[in-house]
Amino acid sequence: MRRRRRCPGCDKRFTTYERAELTLPAVVKKNGTRVEFDRTKLRSSMTLALRKRPVSAESIEAAISRIEEALISSGAREAPSDRIGELVMRELRRLDKVGYVRFASVYRNFEHLDEFAEIIQEVRPDNLNSR
């Protein structure tokens, strides 16, 4: 926000700029350490999952903004990495099913083919209509 002000001492006019300072919660990793939220890291993870998929950079940025908005609106000072991972998975599911499966396979640490089959079954078009 831009404001024009007047100095009460010398009566000179000047401009000030104000902006809202939004602080994202600290990320609490699985091992208990805390790190600052890193939009760049989030973008690179999502971009990796969506590599060679027909998803625009604008769509990815919009998804990241929705994730940040959800974190800010929670009002929490800290957010577990699991919560952020679930938010990412929700956004990827909206953007691209293949990207969602790719991210889920790493995020949930799939070790067996059955786990892949379950997640693929989850995103099949015939299952999406029943939800």
Mean pLDDT of 98-113: 85
Average pLDDT, the chain: 88
Mean pLDDT of 67-86: 92
Domain segments of the chain as ranges: 22-125
Q: What is the pLDDT of residue 84?
A: 94
Q: What percent of the chain has pLDDT over 90?
A: 61
- Token pair 């990320």 is found at 27
- 128: pLDDT strictly greater than 70: no
CA 63 distance to own-chain centroid: 6
Are the CB atoms for 49 and 102 separated by under 8 Å?
Answer: yes
Mean pLDDT of 78-93: 94
* 76 vs 74: CA distance, rounded Å: 5
Q: What is the pLDDT of residue 131?
A: 46
| pTM (two decimals) | 0.71
Residue whose C-alpha is closest to residue 28's, from 102, 92, 78, 99: 78
